[in-house]
């Protein structure tokens, strides 16, 4: 162990100039990543349906910059021979085993995400019990924004022990499921027809040969469930699309005497302020 330490000290070359050089490399790498990420996101916003594909360049670029800057820093501090490199690798491996295991696992996870692409920047994903839009894929963690605008950082190692579900798989359009519940005595066939009309006339809907819409009916003891399944034209309007369908569907249901569920003779009525707001 003492011989390994002596070998390591022999190859270390650290002075003020080297320290300034390392600081310069770190600052330059940071600014380069921020600048390129900003430009790619701006270009992606103008690329329409290719926005998510363009944003996926960001994590790959980060990995390249991290590797290049790490190499420059290491070679500035040490200039090892093959024997000395083996000695240094042994010490590094021991340090990795004791204190850097989790960090290294996250880095490996980040590399796997960047190349296998289970999800992309801009995707709506679910990992564990967290759901949101991916805003950044770093070397150690993935950052998502949840529907209530909370930023959550998920360690990249989670890709190995938790399932990751992408709602749009790299596309801008995404399936949105909206559930409405009506009384068993209401005309469900008319309700289905009205709900379909609300879907196809929504300004947020996306319909094509491969992106179809449907309304499914399921009956329960006290109510019927109408499940509308349709694609939103941009995943960023997921909740606006669901709200638009719900709001306009209930306006039509009220006009056609299609009632919400009732339990034990008590009818659950829509709030008056809701009725007034949707009729405006």
The whole-number pLDDT of residue 277 equals: 45
Same domain, residue pair 77 and 94: yes
The whole-number pLDDT of residue 37 equals: 81
Q: What is the CATH number of the domain that holds 246?
A: 3.30.70.100
Q: What is the CATH number of the domain that holds 93?
A: 1.10.287
Same domain, residue pair 273 and 182: yes
**Distances in whole angstroms, Cα of residue 223 to Cα of each of 56, 182, 256, 262:** 45, 6, 17, 8
The whole-number pLDDT of residue 68 equals: 83
Rounded distance between C-alpha atoms, residue 56 and residue 54, angstroms: 5
Same domain, residue pair 271 and 217: yes
Same domain, residue pair 148 and 217: no
pLDDT along the chain (280 residues), means of 10: 51 70 86 83 65 68 80 72 63 60 74 82 89 86 90 89 86 93 93 96 94 94 94 93 96 93 60 47
The whole-number pLDDT of residue 217 equals: 95
The whole-number pLDDT of residue 278 equals: 45
Q: Are 121 and 59 in contact (CB under 8 A)?
A: yes
The whole-number pLDDT of residue 101 equals: 65
The whole-number pLDDT of residue 186 equals: 92
Same domain, residue pair 104 and 12: yes
Is this model's pTM higher than 0.75 or not? Answer: no
Same domain, residue pair 83 and 10: yes
SS3 111: helix
The whole-number pLDDT of residue 115 equals: 80
The residue range of the domain holding 129 is 124-166
Same domain, residue pair 257 and 225: yes
The whole-number pLDDT of residue 29 equals: 87
Report long-range pairs for 85-90 (Cβ below 8 Å, ≥24 apart): 87/3, 87/4, 87/7, 87/8, 88/7, 88/8, 88/11, 90/4
Same domain, residue pair 112 and 198: no
Please give the tally of structural domains in the chain: 3
Supply the DSSP symbol for 172: S
Same domain, residue pair 30 and 110: yes
From 100, 116, 132, the end of a domain falls on: 116
Same domain, residue pair 112 and 9: yes
Compute the C-alpha angle 67/71/75, nearest 5°.
175
**Distances in whole angstroms, Cα of residue 230 to Cα of each of 178, 180, 238:** 9, 14, 11
Q: What is the CATH number of the domain that holds 162?
A: 2.30.30
Helices and strands, counts by H and E, the chain: 10, 11
Same domain, residue pair 136 and 181: no
């Amino acid at each position: 162990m003492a011989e390994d330490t002596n070998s390591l000290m022999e190859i270390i070359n650290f002075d003020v100039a080297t320290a300034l050089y390392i600081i310069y490399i770190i600052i330059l790498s940071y600014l380069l990543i921020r600048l390129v990420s900003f430009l790619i996101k701006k270009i992606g916003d103008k690329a329409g349906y290719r926005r998510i594909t363009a944003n996926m360049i960001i994590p790959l670029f980060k990995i390249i910059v991290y590797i290049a800057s790490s190499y420059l820093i290491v070679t500035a501090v040490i200039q090892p021979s093959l024997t000395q490199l083996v000695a240094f690798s042994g010490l590094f491996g021991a340090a990795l085993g004791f204190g850097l295991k989790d960090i290294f696992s996250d880095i490996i996870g980040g590399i796997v995400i960047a190349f296998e692409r289970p999800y992309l920047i801009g995707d709506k994903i679910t990992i564990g019990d967290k759901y949101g839009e991916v805003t950044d894929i770093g070397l150690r963690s993935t950052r998502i924004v949840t529907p209530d605008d909370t930023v959550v950082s998920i360690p990249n190692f989670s890709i190995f022990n938790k399932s990751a579900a992408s709602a749009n798989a790299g596309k801008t359009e995404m399936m949105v499921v909206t559930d409405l519940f009506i009384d068993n005595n209401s005309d469900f066939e008319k309700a289905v027809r009205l709900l379909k009309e609300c879907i196809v006339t929504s300004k947020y809907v996306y319909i094509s040969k491969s992106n179809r819409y449907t309304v499914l009916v399921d009956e329960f003891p006290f109510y019927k469930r109408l499940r509308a399944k349709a694609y939103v034209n941009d995943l960023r309007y997921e909740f606006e699309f669901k709200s638009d369908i719900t709001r306009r569907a209930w306006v039509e249901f009220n006009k056609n005497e299609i009632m919400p569920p009732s339990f034990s003779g008590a009818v659950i009525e829509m709030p008056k302020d809701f009725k007034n707001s949707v009729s405006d």
